[in-house]
A and B are shown apart, each in its own frame.
Chain A
Amino acid sequence: MSRNGLALAAGGVKGFAHIAVLKLLEELELKIDVVTGSSAGSIVAALYALHGDWQKVWKEFSEGVVEFLPAFMKRAEKLRGANLWSIFQRSLVKVEEYYPFFKKLFGKKKFSDCKIKLGIVVFDITELRSLLITEGFLVDAVMASSSVPGVFEAVWIAGDQVVDGGVAGHTPVREARKLGADFIIASTFKKSASKLPIDQMELMFYIDTWKEEKIKNHDLSFANLVIEHDLAINWYEFEKFKKVFETAVKSIEERRKEVEIIIRR
Chain B
Amino acid sequence: MRLSFGGDSAYYLSVLGIIRAIEEVNLEIDEIHCTGFSCIPLFFSEYLGSPGKAYPKVRELYREIVKIFKFLKGLVHIDVVNLLLTLYRMQKGIEGTTSQKSLVNFIYKSFPNVDLEKIPRLKIHAFNLKEYKDEILSGNVREALCSTLCFPIQFSPYKDYITGAWVYGVPEGDIIITMKSEDIYKPRNAIDYMILSTLGRTKEIVEIRKQEADFSFEFEVNSLDPSRNSLKIYEAALEKFAENVLKKD
Contact = CB atoms under 8 A, between A and B. Distances in A.
A binds B: yes
A164 B194 CA distance: 11
Interface centre among A88, A126, A204, by most B CB within 10 Å? A204
A204 B163 CA distance: 12
A246 interface: no
A86 B192 CA distance: 8
Nearest to B157: A203
Nearest to A202: B94
Contacts of A126: 184, 186
B204 interface: yes
Contacts of B85: 87
A201 B202 CA distance: 17
A200 B205 contact: no
Interface string B154-168: 000100001000111
A130 interface: yes
Interface in B168-201: 168, 184, 186-201
A91 interface: yes
Contacts of B238: none
A4 to B, nearest CB: 25
Interface residues of B, number: 43
Interface string B64-89: 00000000000000000100110110
Contacts of B191: 83, 86-87, 150
Given A85-B190, A204-B152, A129 B184 contact: no
Interface in A127-148: 128-130
Interface of B: 81, 84-85, 87-88, 92-96, 127, 129-130, 132, 152-153, 157, 162, 166-168, 184, 186-205, 208
23 contacts: A83-B191, A84-B88, A87-B190, A90-B189, A125-B197, A125-B200, A128-B196, A149-B196, A150-B190, A150-B191, A154-B187, A168-B200, A168-B203, A197-B94, A199-B94, A200-B92, A204-B153, A204-B195, A205-B194, A205-B198, A207-B127, A210-B127, A211-B202
